[in-house]
């Protein structure tokens, strides 16, 4: 953990603001140096500390504490009735049965206490994988409300909610982070008016990945069209190539499925829509506007299909064996079947990356017992390996 959010609380009656600011800076700088961390403000972090600078801050605390997740850490000083205010706040939290801790003492004691809090948090999270949810699932994903507690217990996954406001704040910085295929991107999208914005989106998401210590994420990407007239398609392609599991439309079951593929097989996965099914020919067309860059034999940058905006990716995939996989939203069932990618197509009425997959078994289940819209396409035949892996984690899982 490199950053901790500090929430300073001081009485509205305080008249010595400059002196308080100076004392706060000296105190926090000393603690930050001792702990080898950075204190920040106005950005929620896994650990948030309320610095009780003065007495009379109880009401100030009441107005803001619900913006932060418990436990509540109350850092005090030995001046200006800081400790009495913390005791009153602590009593309030205790009455509400909310976890809290009052941190009081000289600098060495406070450093020791904070260090233990940080270590305890890190150890509690060490066995869990953190997957970010930037915004909410898209409105049309009405069958994708995942059981988070079940995911935590069975798959050791924590879902971290990240507001679209936090993403927007990062995006407005308009920063660049060099991507693995920067030179290739520059050549392929040299004439695209959307390239700069698409790379800003990539960099903003990557900063959130760093900040929240994420192994993967999904984003409510269609909201970008309304505000920025751009898409996250390029960002997802690049981040997946970099080993960060990246899904779109806020689809949580698919994000978890992608994570499990990465964890068990160390392979990327193409999140796609089933666009048409031909039961007579035992074939299915999959399409989407983004694909992990390292799953493409070659790439072409176009616009996003539905909107005509941003950068959509038409990737040419390797023909040959593949596996189709997804979990249900309630995590009670999984669809796992094998097939063959037989053709890449370039229809104008579908999302940009398009493949035809022939399946000898299980195709009709997508129509008769669908677990949801999106499916994952993985290179190679892995039904047995995936089934064994998932069953080892959850023996009650039903393979449909």
Distance CA 277, CA 335 (A): 16
Element (H, E) at 157: strand 157-162
> Which residue's structure tokens are 């990945």?
209
Same domain for 379 and 273, yes or no, is yes
Q: Say what the pLDDT of residue 126 is.
A: 61
Domain boundary among 73, 95, 125: 125
Q: Say what the pLDDT of residue 197 is.
A: 82
Same domain for 217 and 338, yes or no, is yes
The CA-based angle 213-150-133, given to 5 degrees, is: 35
Same domain for 99 and 212, yes or no, is no
pLDDT digits (tens, 9 = 90+) for 96-138: 899 999 999 999 999 999 999 988 887 766 678 999 999 866 5
Same domain for 101 and 133, yes or no, is no
Domain boundary among 71, 96, 125: 125
Same domain for 120 and 135, yes or no, is no
Domain boundary among 125, 155, 170: 125
Same domain for 118 and 134, yes or no, is no
Please answer whether residues 261 and 376 qualify as being in contact, where contact means their C-beta atoms are separated by less than 8 angstroms: yes
- What is the number of residues in the chain? 400
pLDDT digits (tens, 9 = 90+) for 68-105: 888 999 999 999 999 999 999 999 999 989 999 999 99
Same domain for 115 and 181, yes or no, is no
Please answer whether residues 176 and 203 qualify as being in contact, where contact means their C-beta atoms are separated by less than 8 angstroms: yes
Q: Which domain holds residue 162?
A: 129-399
Cβ-based neighbours of 397, under 8 Å, separated by 6 or more: 331, 332, 333, 334, 390, 391
Mean predicted lDDT score pLDDT of the chain: 88
Query: Three-class SS string for 58-108?
Result: HHHHHHHHHHCCCCEEEECCCCCCHHHHHHHHHHHHHHCCCCEEEECCCHH
Q: What is the mean pLDDT of residues 181-193?
A: 64
Same domain for 7 and 39, yes or no, is yes
> Which residue's structure tokens are 């305080």?
14
Same domain for 54 and 165, yes or no, is no
DSSP state of 12: T
Same domain for 14 and 105, yes or no, is yes
Distance CA 291, CA 311 (A): 12
Element (H, E) at 280: none
**Which CATH number does the domain housing residue 115 bear?**
3.40.50.10940
In total, how many domains does the chain have? 2
Same domain for 269 and 386, yes or no, is yes
Distance CA 393, CA 400 (A): 17
Determine whether 373 is exposed, middle or buried from the number of CB atoms within 10 Å of its CB (0-12, 13-18, 19+): middle
Strand partners, 285: 276, 356
pLDDT digits (tens, 9 = 90+) for 14-57: 778 888 889 889 999 999 999 989 999 988 888 999 999 999 99
Please answer whether residues 397 and 338 qualify as being in contact, where contact means their C-beta atoms are separated by less than 8 angstroms: no
Cβ-based neighbours of 200, under 8 Å, separated by 6 or more: 171, 174, 175, 176
Distance CA 274, CA 286 (A): 5
Distance CA 65, CA 347 (A): 53
pLDDT digits (tens, 9 = 90+) for 220-232: 866 776 777 788 8
Same domain for 355 and 258, yes or no, is yes
The CA-based angle 328-149-386, given to 5 degrees, is: 45
């Amino acid at each position: 953990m490199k950053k901790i959010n500090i929430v300073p609380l001081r009485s509205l009656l305080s008249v010595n603001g400059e002196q308080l600011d100076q004392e706060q800076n000296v105190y926090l700088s000393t603690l930050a140096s001792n702990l080898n961390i950075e204190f920040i403000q106005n950005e929620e972090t896994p650990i948030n500390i309320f610095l009780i600078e003065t007495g009379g801050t109880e009401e100030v605390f009441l107005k803001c504490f619900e913006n932060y997740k418990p436990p509540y850490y109350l850092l005090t000083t030995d001046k200006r009735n800081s400790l009495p205010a913390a005791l009153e706040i602590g009593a309030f939290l205790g009455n509400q049965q909310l976890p809290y801790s009052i941190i009081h003492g000289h600098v060495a004691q406070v450093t020791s206490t904070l260090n233990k809090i940080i270590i305890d948090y890190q150890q509690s999270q060490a066995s869990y994988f953190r997957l970010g949810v930037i915004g909410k699932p898209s409105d049309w994903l009405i069958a994708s409300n995942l059981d988070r507690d079940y995911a935590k217990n069975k798959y050791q996954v924590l879902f971290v909610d990240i507001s679209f406001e936090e993403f927007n704040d990062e995006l407005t910085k308009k920063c660049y982070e060099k991507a693995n295929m920067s030179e290739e991107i520059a050549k392929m999208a040299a004439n695209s008016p959307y390239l700069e914005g698409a790379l800003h989106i990539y960099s903003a998401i990557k900063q959130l990945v760093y900040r929240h210590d994420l192994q993967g994420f999904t984003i409510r990407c269609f909201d970008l069209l309304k505000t920025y007239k751009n898409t996250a398609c390029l960002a997802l392609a690049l981040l997946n190539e970099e080993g960060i599991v990246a899904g779109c439309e806020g689809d949580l079951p698919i994000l978890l499925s992608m994570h499990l593929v990465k964890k068990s097989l160390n392979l990327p996965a193409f999140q796609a829509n089933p666009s048409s099914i031909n039961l007579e020919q035992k074939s299915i067309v999959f399409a989407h506007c983004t694909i992990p860059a390292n799953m493409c034999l070659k790439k072409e940058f176009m616009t996003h299909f539905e909107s005509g905006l941003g950068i959509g990716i038409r990737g040419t995939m390797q023909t040959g064996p593949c596996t189709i996989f997804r979990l249900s939203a309630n995590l009670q069932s999984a669809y796992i079947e094998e097939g063959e990618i037989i053709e890449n197509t370039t229809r104008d009425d579908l999302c940009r990356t398009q493949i035809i997959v022939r399946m000898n078994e299980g195709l009709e289940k997508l129509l008769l017992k669908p677990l949801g819209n999106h499916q994952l396409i993985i290179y190679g035949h892995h039904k047995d390996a995936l089934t064994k892996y998932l069953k080892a984690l959850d023996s009650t899982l039903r393979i449909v």
